[in-house]
Structure 1
Amino acid sequence: MKLLYIDPTAFTLFGLDIQWYAIIIVSGIVLVSWLASKEAVKVGLREDDVVDLMLWALPISILGARLYYVLFELDYYLAHPSEILAIRNGGLAIYGGLIAGGLVVFFFTRHRFISTWKFLDVAAPSVILAQGIGRWGNFMNHEAFGGVVSRNFLEGLHLPQFIIDNMYIDGQYRQPTFLYESVWNVLGFVVLVALRRKPNFLKEGELALMYVLWYSFGRFFIEGMRTDSLMLGNVIRVSQLLSAVLFVGALALLIFRRKKYDLPFYDRTKGDKKAI
């Protein structure tokens, strides 16, 4: 049976191979910037605030994602230092990018005298959608896969033929964990958008915390299915440990803020009502 194998290289431009991974990641970044800028206007912020933030957050988040990945594969990169900056073929850890991006948001909003929580609320749904899109970059690179399964198992999931064929990795069919997380993230986007449309339902900062709860909950279980995870001392998957910590921390913070502070509601009526 001939497999419909996808080449990770989309095309070659002036002698440089352009990877599908890079195209998809960049597309997700463009989408998150556009969606967040439109939502910013709805809550009384400026589109320029999002654009200016992205100029700082984009390169720093990429560096953070790469640094996170390299640190947990340090033995390999110490032996192959020339590959440390070679990110076109993958090797970006989402959690590393989120941590670095979160720090940029904190310092940027402090500098602009903008509520950090409000800015995170604006960004959260767009970010989780971009993450869902970004997982298809892993698919193109034939990474972020799970354990060995049969072709019949994949066909039983009613997946398109091209997904089934490209889950044939290292001589065996694999769990499409990239797809599970992509679907989970897109569903999270729908849930977060629905929640922010409910007037006087979520307090400021709670949409961002709901994002953390949703993403970390799904990531914990999906990560447990993967066979290419970053490990901590060959004992526990790094992303599972971090997901558990983030879930508990976000839940505790959500409850604490509700009880401790009289917070304003997330209000989408302060800005331009004609905005998307």
Structure 2
Amino acid sequence: MSAPPAPAHPLIEIDVDESLARALLAEQHPDLADRPLHSRMHGWDNITWRLGDDLAVRLPVREISAPLVVNEQRWLPVVGGRVPVPTPVPLRTGAPSPLYPWPWSVVPWLTGTVVAATDVAGRTAWAAQLADALAALHAEAPADAPHNPYRGVALRDRAQVVATRLESAPDLPHRDALLAAWHDGLTAPEWASPAVWVHGDPHPGNLLSDGGRLTALLDFGDLGHGDPASDLATAWLTFDAAGRAAFVARTTQRRGWDDATWRRARAWAAGLVPVFLAHPVEYPLMADVGRHAAEQLATH
């Protein structure tokens, strides 16, 4: 086989086109190789091809993302069942081969619209549902749970990197408000309870909804354990004031996190804004998430 296709943009090291995806299926899962491949989607870390009506092929697009797929393959079967909304628990796995250098997965195709592409006000209808999903996930993690150095950790561990982003990112909206939220979180008491499971990335690009319901929680590659505040940042990333109030109220009812946890969560949201805004051309929906979060943090 010839070399993999050239990247579609700088964030992609291998652009998995239809011919490569089909060749990998033929090599390792030949009973699936004749299914139609369609509706390709790509994110920062993976390309996903819909496979027939009910499956999808999920493949890393850069070397740094390959361990995230392994993380999902190892741990999502363990934690996915505790979450009361569908999750893409891998059904089959693919191994590195001469065709492609990294592990990959076949997962169920989960229906719904990517929340980042939906009206923000309409998300309030399922805010309590997301709160229930995260509350179910945020149970005490075992000693061998994976460690994510970028999520679930103490804010002080990210202080230098995040402060640099907030201070130097070009055209950052509401910079002063974001810095204030970040510094307030740094002064809040740190997480002192047993480490809980942390999704790592429950932002609107990793949620699906349909008909006023949350239909899926996606992308568990950043799964780890620690402080749930990094997950709770979705209150500002995903919702407006009404939706956030419903999310916070339901989470408080289910888990009773203290004020310090919510201060840290707000700080996490502020620190993620420049990340979402970093590639506005390649990922316009994520840039929309960043702008929305900055506005929420500045005005509420």
- Flag the structure with higher helix content: 1
- Flag the structure with higher strand content: 2
Higher RCO (CA < 8 A, seq sep 6+): 1
